[in-house]
Structure 1
Amino acid sequence: MKKIMICGVPNSNNLGDRVIIESMNYIYEQYLNKYEIVNFDIVSGKIYNGNLDVKIKLNSNGFRKKMIPNILRRMKVYSNYKKNEKLNLELENIISKQDCVVIGGGHLLIDNYLHFPLAINQIVQLAKEYQIPVIIAFVGAKGKWSQRAKKLLVDSLDYAKCISVRDSASKDFLVSINSKYKEKTQVISDPALFVKDFVGISDKNKMNIGIGIMDPNEIARHAKIKWSRDEAAGWWKKIITDLEKKDLRVNIFTNGAPTDNAFVEYYIKPHFEKNNNVKIMEYPKNYKELIQNIERQDAVIAQRLHACLPSISFENKTFGVIWDEKVEGVFNELGMSEYLIDFRIAPNSLIKKIESSLANGTRLEKEIINKINLKKVEMKEYLYNYT
């Protein structure tokens, strides 16, 4: 049996990243079951299968942190990465035994102070040394890239046998880097659309509306939009209160990132602790708990892409809060632009839009479900044809 390494960032505190890897594993195990799979986290190494400790800690947005020049951040990351001999030896030992390496999915083609560019390039260079093909699958791509990151990622993209991204904006960005990626890159979708396939669906009684909340300070790391914690808390409290008044059970959840947990704990939870129609779901300790929290809902309103996609996989109406190109891009690829909502619009008008949609049921329209199934076929065919 051939061996394949599927790598991303499954050990991330954002459990949506683990959902991606498990979805990739499912595609190979269910439809391409001629491979022995090993998973690897490009930042931390071997995949961790235990429960994560629930952490409640807001990310800092202090003045001192903002004053650190990006070049110093990159130098620190580079130094730490090169010193991590254990990770490098572990990686070489695994790659040398593989027949193929798959990098994806997730928002990997970005310059997060060289974290991902260095890690991806290291994997690709080792694969090249051992003459092992590399597939880049279902990733997101976004700039700006520093000159160092650009060299690392372009070298990696050039060696890759094929590239697929999850939305048109990602392909457009890669083509802006070099026009040669226009032919090499396919726009498909995100593997989290397979979540329903390997989880199944449970029975429900009263209509449950899931509210997937993210710390708004995360927006500043990825977009130019500004939304303070106080502003975000006020917006969410209005949305939740209006939904609860319509006799809906509102369940608030996170993807497990410590800063998301803390934002809910300190800014949202105190307002609803005594409200029987609003529940703060337990912060997930592993990807299965995250999926369970989402599967229990009839409809979802969420910010993080991998709070939205499992819900879409369950064919439930899912409203994505626009805060980054990736959310908007993936929704557009699925024909779900009508399900995008903008936090800069007053909650009253958004509630009317959501209420009007739910009045026709909580299941996605047939045309969208057909598009989802088509994207899943395209993902299976991509991996089958290029692995």
Structure 2
Amino acid sequence: MPKKTKVLLTKGHAVNNGDMALVYALYTALEKKGFEVSIATFHYEFLKEKYPDLPLVRELLDYNLITGATFIKKIFLKINYLINKKYKKFDVYISSPGGYLNSYYGLKKSLLPLVEAKKSHKKTAVYSQSIGPLNERDISLLEKYSKFIDLILVRDNYSKECISSINCSSSILQTKDAAFLLEPKKSKADPNSKLVAVSVRSWKHDNRNMEHYHNLIQNYCEKVLEKGYDIEFISTCQGVKGYVDDSITAEIIKQKIIKSNKNYQESIHIDSEFNSYFDLVKKLNTKYCFVIGTRLHMCILSLINGTPAFNISYEVKGKECYEYLGYNSYSADFNEDISIALSKFEDFISNYKNLKESLYDKIYEIHKESKEHLNEFINLMKMS
């Protein structure tokens, strides 16, 4: 029997169920192709307890370092890579799908593991990423590090344009969001369900106005409540100590709604507990009539599981995704004029049941494209 190619998905933040959706989708898709796949993640101890059956590996920088200085992290990462037998045994290193190659989060810590792997003559790639916006410093860094990356997959037109405008040494392939590698499902929710899921988040980059955003979500929620629906605030990011918790933002908005109308108090619930990826997916498939999602993967997971989702786009990635899905009329900007945003939302509420009927076919079409792009990726990387 020929030896299986060993693949490591690096840079996982799988406590975020959006990120878990991405790495799990790519992990399962590659496993079906016959590769031996592991997932390197931060919050390793917590996640190993929650997902004992997944092949998790501790990410190289998943330690409480005394200093946060970049040069210290770089030295630590290099030494850890050299002595970490578990991390060094792989043939192919793929930086996990997502939206972290921009100037909000910093490129160095994302790409340095690939640099070290390439120096050890491994195959390296970045899968299904949003690229940008990038400041001049990060453009220079990406140009420098791209010499160590064989292939970069981008997940939308904006990202393709961004990376095409710089001197990138990697080969480039355009795909869709990696979560669409997951098999789509039809909703199993009660057709008469009147429960709406609402996903919120805090976002202060790009001079975004949080007060305006709070007012926007309040207006959406009040519109839902006026029509006799109940609301459950739930997110891909919550319930993990030391990590982002969107239920804090949900509580702010809930109190604004109650202050406006106390009669709504019993109709609003906040789920603030950690839901495993599998538990969240089950809820999205069986519990809600539709979703209002600020977190992009709250929307994508809803759509994959047969539940219509209205998107609030805080970065370009949300707008781009809904554009190629053909659902751009069901996406509003994070700081959009409230009257325009409400008009879009009214159209969505009026049409979500019809949307639900055609949802599976639309998502299955994107799913097939994603699998074709995976095959192209494997061929370009010469992985088998």
Q: TM-score, normalised by structure 1?
A: 0.78
Matched, 1:264 2:233: no
Q: Which residue of 2 aligns with 1:124?
A: 114
Q: Which residue of 1 aligns with 2:38?
A: 38
**2: CA distance, partners of 1:275 / 1:383:** 50
Return the offset for 1:356.
Answer: 2.5
Matched, 1:4 2:4: no
From 346, 358, 363, the equivalent of 2:352 is 358
For the residue of structure 1 that corresponds to 2:282, the secondary structure is helix
From 222, 228, 236, the equivalent of 2:210 is 228
Structure 2 unmatched ranges of 5 or more: 52-66, 239-243
Superimposed CA distance per residue, residues 198-219 of structure 1 (whole angstroms, 9 cap, x where no aligned partner): x88544253332211112xx1x
Q: Which residue of 2 aligns with 1:48?
A: 47
Structure 1, 100-109 or 81-90: larger mean CA deviation: 81-90
Q: Which residue of 1 aligns with 2:269?
A: 279
Q: How does 1:255-334 map to 2 (within 5 A)?
A: 255-257=236-238, 258-268=244-254, 271=257, 275-295=265-285, 296-334=287-325
From 205, 208, 227, the equivalent of 1:246 is 227
Q: Which residue of 1 aligns with 2:64?
A: none
- Supply the AA of the counterpart residue of 2:115: Q
Q: Is the Cα contact below 8 Å between 1:44 and 1:87 reproduced in 2? A: no
Say how many residue pairs are matched: 349
**2: CA distance, partners of 1:276 / 1:87:** 55
Q: Is the Cα contact below 8 Å between 1:298 and 1:362 reproduced in 2? A: no
**2: CA distance, partners of 1:311 / 1:90:** 41
- Supply the AA of the counterpart residue of 1:111: S
Q: Is the Cα contact below 8 Å between 1:188 and 1:378 reproduced in 2? A: no
Matched, 1:344 2:341: no
Q: How does 1:83-162 map to 2 (within 5 A)?
A: 84=76, 88-89=80-81, 92-112=84-104, 114=106, 116-121=107-112, 123-147=113-137, 149-162=138-151
Return the offset for 1:45.
Answer: 6.8
Q: Is the Cα contact below 8 Å between 1:3 and 1:98 reproduced in 2? A: yes
Return the offset for 1:4.
Answer: 0.8
Check 1:318–1:133 CA distance in 2 against 1; reply closer, same or farther (3 A cut). Answer: same
Q: TM-score, normalised by structure 2?
A: 0.79
Q: Which residue of 2 aligns with 1:24?
A: 26
**1: CA distance, partners of 2:135 / 2:302:** 32
Q: Is the Cα contact below 8 Å between 1:101 and 1:133 reproduced in 2? A: yes
**2: CA distance, partners of 1:185 / 1:117:** 20
Check 1:293–1:8 CA distance in 2 against 1; reply closer, same or farther (3 A cut). Answer: farther
Superimposed CA distance per residue, residues 327-386 of structure 1 (whole angstroms, 9 cap, x where no aligned partner): 111221222222212342325423421222225353445763353233332343234323
Higher RCO (Cα < 8 Å, 6 or more apart): 1
- Supply the AA of the counterpart residue of 1:49: K
**1: CA distance, partners of 2:83 / 2:98:** 20
Q: Which residue of 1 aligns with 2:56?
A: none
Aligned Cα root-mean-square deviation (Å)? 3.2
Check 1:256–1:87 CA distance in 2 against 1; reply closer, same or farther (3 A cut). Answer: farther
Check 1:140–1:298 CA distance in 2 against 1; reply closer, same or farther (3 A cut). Answer: same
Q: Which residue of 1 aligns with 2:374?
A: 380
Matched, 1:204 2:190: yes
Q: Is the Cα contact below 8 Å between 2:18 and 2:298 reproduced in 1? A: yes
Check 1:290–1:153 CA distance in 2 against 1; reply closer, same or farther (3 A cut). Answer: farther
Check 1:142–1:200 CA distance in 2 against 1; reply closer, same or farther (3 A cut). Answer: same
Percent sequence identity over aligned pairs = 16
**2: CA distance, partners of 1:243 / 1:113:** 34
